[in-house]
Structure 1
Amino acid sequence: MIWSPDGRYLAYAGREGRQSVWGALNDQLYVCDLKTGVSKSLTDSEDFCIAAATLSDTREAAFGANLQWSKDSSRVFMGFGWHGEGHICSVSVGGGPIQFHTKGQREYMLGNFSRDGAKVALCAGDSAEPNEAYVGTLSKKGLEARKLTSFNKDLLEELEIAKPAMTWIKSASGTDVQVWVMKPASADRKKAPAILEVHGGPHAQYGVPFFHEFQVLAASGYVVVYSNPRGSKGYGEEHCNSIHGSWGAADWEDVEAVTAFMKKQPYIDAKRMAIMGGSYGGYMTNWAIGHTDDFAAAITDRCVSNLVSMSGNSDFPLVPDTYWKGNPWSQPETLWDQSPIRYFENVTTPTLIIHSEGDLRCNVEQAEQVFTSLKLRGVPTRFVRYPQSTSHGMSRSGPPDLRIHRLHQILGWYKIYLKNGK
């Protein structure tokens, strides 16, 4: 929340009715007029969530609203995530349509306004360039941004940076799913192995921000495919809320559609495809290896494997009969039916497991269950554990040496099971 410069209004993010601790529902912008004591939503007429939730491994995820007032207290500015992009928007305190001040396939992150209100600090970047600092000036044409820094210019000129192509596909139910494909240079000469990345959240989104991990994989000769299946932010509340309390259904249907799309591409070797993801992406990786043999390898990172046990050892406790129906002590059926480990009877996919012992969101025992199950079933597996000092966000905010170590573990696994075709 944030006070207006004139002290009359208080702007804040929230929603009325059913609450969603997982963020499946749209947060709206409210303004309370301290003169009248009346609060009203300024964004309830449009299907946007006032939180970007657009992921990158060059910064922490931004799931909360970022609000700023204009100097004259007439408008509230905020950041929106939409179709994988990040934009700066505003709305009048008196109501009316949301105005977009930026456009294009980029990510803009809102900072503070100058004292006179004429300029605004922001960061901006895209899939080929990490965010840099800009100063913006508002005009009738939009926001004119002037670049202040080029910290990575020399390095980017030395490296082979892949630029993804974006497309849309149809899922089995007719749902439109946005997909990005990042091709290595070698993919134009021969069929290449491919990796499907599934994002965490689940109520977040992949898109245009720079992703170091994707660039490392592409530079190593892999086609990297990523998408926003149902459950993702950035496509309206229905798309996001469609997996509320029902993981492994509509979301899995969309992941299967992306997998089918990958198989059809002439530059992808369909016999050398892998799936990987972290957090909920790890959940979906675990779900995939229990439901298909499409993938020659898998990597499950900071994963969820058993919703019943997770309900009691996460810093995000599963409150009975809220997001999921039932509870772990007397009505565990829904949680167990949606737990990937329930379907490990027929797993054959070689799987690398990565987890931090200091992960309070998805406790390391979630990974231990996967490792034990795969070992007992004779499935090729390896368990890489990082120390108690690392957290759920190690891949994006952990110590640089351990982040590099993690990437080497990933490349080593794929070298065995994708490049060498073991």
Structure 2
Amino acid sequence: MPNKRPITSEDLFKISNVGEAQISPCNGKFVFVKTTIDEDQEYRSHLHFQRFDETSSVQWTFGKVRDHSPCFSPDGKKLAFVSNRSGKSQIWVISTEGGEPQQVTQSKNGASNPVWAPCGTQLLFKTSLKLDQDESVFDQEEKKKEKKKSEPLVVNRLKYKSDGAGFHNETYQQLALINIETNEITELTSGRFSYEPSSWSPDGKSIALSANLTDDADYQIVSDLYLLNVETKELTLLTDHNGVYTNPTWSPDGKTIACFGNEREYLGATINQIYTIDIHTKKKKCITETWDVHITDAAISDMRSGHPNPGPIWSNDGKTLYFTGSENGNTSLYAIDENHEITPIFAEEGHVYGYTFDEDRKFAIIGLSDASNPGDLYKIVLGEKKKTRLTYINEAFLSEVHLSIPEPITAKASDGWEVHGWVMKPHGFEEGKKYPMILEIHGGPHAMYANSFFHELQLLAAQGYVVLYTNPRGSHGYGQKFVNACRGDYGGKDYEDLMAAVDFVLENFDYIDQDRLGVTGGSYGGFMTNWIVGHTNRFKAAVTQRSISNWTSFYGVSDIGYFFTKWEIGACFQEDPEKLWYHSPLRYVKNIETPLLILHGENDYRCPIEQAEQLYIALKHQKKDTMFVRFPESNHELSRSGPPHLRIERLNHIVNWFNEKL
């Protein structure tokens, strides 16, 4: 529309995120979490209540805090949630009739993941405990003390750090219960293992959880399912150390567990399936094995990161399971019945990033985004092919900005494989005029660009660029063979897929200026950007973000390097360092003539900043056209959940580089 302005990087401050919806057992209302960036350029999250017969919500929590993970008590009279309002994140409870929230945990290292017991008097939660100090969940929060002198970090574990979490420092995630009426705390787990809570049995006697309790847990990338007897604390193994199983949920009769998982047949490129497990016989059955679709949400966006998944949801009669799946650039809501027949519940074009069901399983609330909306909540009545919009979170913002609506494309690679993607026209597009184009490459690589809102892509279109983004082989959404096809071949057919997409749009869209092409991407997309500029000069400018340049050093410095290089490149350092070096963009750095901007977070443990340092020095030493921007306080998630002011800086550097070079 001519009266709408182009989107800007600073519009990030105007966009709100809505999610984590939960329906009250009373069914007349629901709660959700709204996240904004305030005047201090800090993230704030608050709980909002809304009735189904109304189109506006009431904010229930306030302040310069982050409130999230809401969970209704079985009778709907209380709501538990996680908040950092007392400093560290702790569990709080508020009456749904109103009043002030009350803090119920005071764990020294914080608490998270509240799950109500069926009796409604106990809450299961997770907390981090440190072994070497013999900490207990009973310990109260530490009072402010004088600043301690720095101490050395003694490392004995293989996996001693994680992106976002930092150094583990001998801490483990343990489970505990708190009685809301008496404040009594019961420790359920301990020792040198971490546990992930999931769900209570209908009779309240057992908890389903996931953990890696193998003798060599540091070396085996597995996640098993266990049942924890609440009274005896005895653990019963349900799986067999052969895969990754998560999000276990109980059938209504308490006889069966459903979960997501896979047996790692293709290691990190294995698509998720749904399994059911008889808790008495331990017999495990894959009920989606004939459906070549990745179960759960594989779509990526810079508007949200790490949205919680409730797991497979059972119908009240125990004959149906509800879940999301990722296919052809969409994440949709599906059902599978007792005959293993799969039907779509909601499968319109878009990205279903969250879902929750009412107690009677008659309707659901989904979080839905598409190219024109960062996300809103919708009510889906089962059996009816329509959705009712419940929220209008970004209505004011969307009314003032112009958005470019992507046009889907399908290109053919040299071997005949199809490559799905999208093209966005620039703001102010005029027929007969030529425009520069930027190729965007997603990370993962086992992820999926989708029909979802992407601020960065909209920003580039607003700056006058055609934007091309695709799902080359290695991406989720197109079956097991497709997602596995890049393993051991990084820079091979995946590179050809991207070039085939570029060739296709240049041939079919005459408004693209083939002499003004740019390329950018992050993580695997950063690797591929590095690879591209080392193998062709067709791009006149490039921006590599949180990238990989040297697989040989990545093996030892990344929090996942010791297994990821073997899984994805097909070799580890000790066995075949030559193969790691062959697939390393740094090997081809002498060929790079494309002006290259290098962006990297200093606290990135996934793709550590030394990857960027090596690339920059190698280019600068040759007096190549390059610039290096280091972002403090930033990990691998900078573009999605990093400090807001640095996210803006990152976007501005990208735009300025392309504006200068193209």
| TM exceeding 0.5 | yes
Measured after TM superposition, the shift of residue 81 of structure 1 is 0.9
Structure 2 distance, partners of 1:134, 1:330, is 52
Structure 2 distance, partners of 1:72, 1:363, is 49
Structure 1 distance, partners of 2:634, 2:258, is 35
Does residue 407 of structure 2 align to residue 160 of structure 1?
A: no
Larger Rg: 2
* CA distances 1:223-277 after superposition (whole Å, capped 9, x unpaired): 1100001110000001110111221111011011012123322111111110000
Task: Show the counterpart of 2:358.
Answer: 114
Task: Show the counterpart of 2:256.
Answer: 9
* CA distances 1:47-103 after superposition (whole Å, capped 9, x unpaired): 1111221111000156978422222222111111111111001212x3322111112
* CA distances 1:351-389 after superposition (whole Å, capped 9, x unpaired): 1111101111000011111111111122111111111x2
Structure 2 distance, partners of 1:324, 1:297, is 27
Task: Show the counterpart of 1:235.
Answer: 478
Task: Show the counterpart of 1:54.
Answer: 299
Measured after TM superposition, the shift of residue 326 of structure 1 is 3.1
Check conservation: 1:186, 1:192, Cα contact below 8 A.
no
Q: Which amino acid aligns with 1:128?
A: S
Check conservation: 1:15, 1:28, Cα contact below 8 A.
yes
Does residue 610 of structure 2 align to residue 365 of structure 1?
A: yes
Residues 333 and 270 (structure 1 numbering): CA distance in 2 closer, same or farther, change over 3 Å?
same
Task: Show the counterpart of 2:466.
Answer: 223
Task: Show the counterpart of 2:420.
Answer: 178
Question: Which has the higher mean CA deviation after the structures are superposed, 192-201 or 328-337?
Answer: 328-337
Q: Which amino acid aligns with 1:311?
A: Y
Once the two structures are superposed, the pairs formed by residues 18-57 of structure 1 within 5 Å of their partners are 18=265, 20=267, 22=268, 24-57=269-302
Structure 2 distance, partners of 1:360, 1:79, is 30
Q: Which amino acid aligns with 1:158?
A: E
Q: Which amino acid aligns with 2:583?
A: Q
Residues 239 and 61 (structure 1 numbering): CA distance in 2 closer, same or farther, change over 3 Å?
farther
Q: Which secondary structure does the structure 2 equivalent of 1:120 belong to? A: strand
Task: Show the counterpart of 1:207.
Answer: 450
Structure 1: give runs of 5+ residues left out of the alignment: none
Residues 260 and 121 (structure 1 numbering): CA distance in 2 closer, same or farther, change over 3 Å?
same
* CA distances 1:125-144 after superposition (whole Å, capped 9, x unpaired): 201111111222111x44x3
Question: Which has the higher mean CA deviation after the structures are superposed, 391-400 or 276-285?
Answer: 391-400
Residues 227 and 323 (structure 1 numbering): CA distance in 2 closer, same or farther, change over 3 Å?
closer
Aligned-residue identity in percent? 39
Structure 2 distance, partners of 1:100, 1:193, is 39
* CA distances 1:274-301 after superposition (whole Å, capped 9, x unpaired): 0000000000000000000010100000
Structure with larger RCO (C-alpha < 8 A, sep 6+): 1
Structure 2 distance, partners of 1:38, 1:330, is 38
Task: Show the counterpart of 1:193.
Answer: 436
Check conservation: 2:487, 2:567, Cα contact below 8 A.
no
Residues 65 and 417 (structure 1 numbering): CA distance in 2 closer, same or farther, change over 3 Å?
farther
Structure 1 distance, partners of 2:309, 2:534, is 34
Measured after TM superposition, the shift of residue 151 of structure 1 is 1.2
* CA distances 1:317-365 after superposition (whole Å, capped 9, x unpaired): 3337544333213520111111111111111000111110111100001
Task: Show the counterpart of 1:151.
Answer: 393
Structure 1 distance, partners of 2:562, 2:486, is 16
Among 523, 527, 536, which residue is 1:292 paired with?
536
| Greater fraction strand | 2
Task: Show the counterpart of 2:558.
Answer: 314
Among 651, 654, 657, which residue is 1:407 paired with?
651
Task: Show the counterpart of 1:304.
Answer: 548
Question: Which has the higher mean CA deviation after the structures are superposed, 330-339 or 299-308?
Answer: 330-339
Q: Which amino acid aligns with 1:163?
A: I
Task: Show the counterpart of 1:133.
Answer: 377
Q: Which amino acid aligns with 2:524?
A: Y
Check conservation: 2:273, 2:289, Cα contact below 8 A.
yes
* CA distances 1:11-57 after superposition (whole Å, capped 9, x unpaired): 1122236351x3x1111110012244321011001111112211110
Structure 1 distance, partners of 2:541, 2:595, is 5
Task: Show the counterpart of 1:324.
Answer: 569
Structure 2 distance, partners of 1:13, 1:281, is 27
* CA distances 1:182-240 after superposition (whole Å, capped 9, x unpaired): 10143334111110000000011102000000111111111110000111000000111
**Any runs of at least 4 consecutive aligned residues in structure 1 with deviations exceeding 6 A, and if so which?**
62-65
| Greater fraction helix | 1
Q: Which amino acid aligns with 1:373?
A: A
Residues 128 and 187 (structure 1 numbering): CA distance in 2 closer, same or farther, change over 3 Å?
same
Does residue 594 of structure 2 align to residue 352 of structure 1?
A: no
Structure 2: give runs of 5+ residues left out of the alignment: 1-247
Structure 2 distance, partners of 1:31, 1:349, is 52
* CA distances 1:364-418 after superposition (whole Å, capped 9, x unpaired): 011111111111122111111111x211011011121111111111111011101
Aligned residues: 412
Task: Show the counterpart of 1:88.
Answer: 333
TM-score, reference length from structure 1: 0.94
Structure 1 distance, partners of 2:391, 2:309, is 26
Q: Which secondary structure does the structure 1 equivalent of 2:599 belong to? A: strand
TM-score, reference length from structure 2: 0.60
Structure 1 distance, partners of 2:445, 2:292, is 19
Measured after TM superposition, the shift of residue 305 of structure 1 is 0.7
Does residue 584 of structure 2 align to residue 339 of structure 1?
A: yes
Residues 182 and 341 (structure 1 numbering): CA distance in 2 closer, same or farther, change over 3 Å?
same
Structure 2 distance, partners of 1:287, 1:204, is 19
Structure 2 distance, partners of 1:321, 1:217, is 36
